[in-house]
Chains A and B, each alone.
Chain A
């Protein structure tokens, strides 16, 4: 089983839609969780951290389910500018080594 797995997509949704991505991780000792966004041929940038209690930032909501070992990202009211690849990242037990998933490609259509 891969350490961090994501559905590669692509997800094609219309503007205004709600879309959700899941990411599963294999190391139960993982302590920190993140969602990164990567635009085409650009570097990844942090979108949001994922906290145990769940957290929201505008249209974006991240949640952690430790029992089932997955994190999720929900995007409400999708915008064209949300089109990108979304990478989940999980630290190993050492808490510094970030392991990334392969990413989920989202395309928001007009």
Chain B
């Protein structure tokens, strides 16, 4: 597709379960970001991938959160043992280079609800 694709668009899970969120960036974009947005809150940076460089994981809120990017393209964000405070919209974005150099293109997000 032409844009950033995320799946699932909606996920309802029970507390304690693991979830995986997927992001398929725009072809050719080397930079990939994960943000999350809670109700009434701004975008919270989670993790950044750039090419083959080590990712910047400084925004991951706990060790229950992890992300990988395979082959420089698709990325998966995994949340283990979900908690209610994990409920949010998880947004993936990609760009040609780093955020300072170019526009971030966001996917429509994965809305996670933890019961």
Q: Interface size on A (CB < 8 Å)?
A: 23
Chain A CB count within 10 A is highest, among B99, B100, B103, B104, for: B100
B4 nearest in chain A by CB position: A43
Residues in B whose Cβ lies below 8 Å from that of A91: 98-100
Stretch at the interface among A13-21, A67-75, A76-84, A98-106: A98-106
A55 at the interface (CB under 8 A from B): no
Q: Interface size on B (CB < 8 Å)?
A: 23
Q: Given A32-B99, A43-B108, A43-B109: A99 and B91 within 8 A (CB)?
A: no
A97 at the interface (CB under 8 A from B): yes
B65 at the interface (CB under 8 A from A): no
List the interface of chain B (C-beta within 8 A of A). 31, 33, 35, 40-43, 45, 48, 50, 56, 91, 97-101, 103-104, 106-109
Bound: A31/B107 CA distance, A: 25
B108 nearest in chain A by CB position: A43
List the interface of chain A (C-beta within 8 A of B). 4, 31-32, 34, 42-46, 49, 87, 89, 91, 94-103
Whether B98 contacts A43 by the Cβ 8 Å rule is: no
How many contacts A-B (CB < 8 Å)?
60
Whether A32 contacts B100 by the Cβ 8 Å rule is: yes
Whether B103 contacts A102 by the Cβ 8 Å rule is: no
Bound: A86/B59 CA distance, A: 23
Chain A CB count within 10 A is highest, among B45, B48, B99, for: B99
Whole-angstrom distance between the Cβ of A88 and the nearest chain B Cβ: 10
Task: Provide a sorted-by-A list of 7 A–B residue pairs whose CB atoms are within 8 angstroms.
Answer: A91-B99, A94-B56, A95-B99, A95-B100, A96-B31, A97-B45, A97-B48
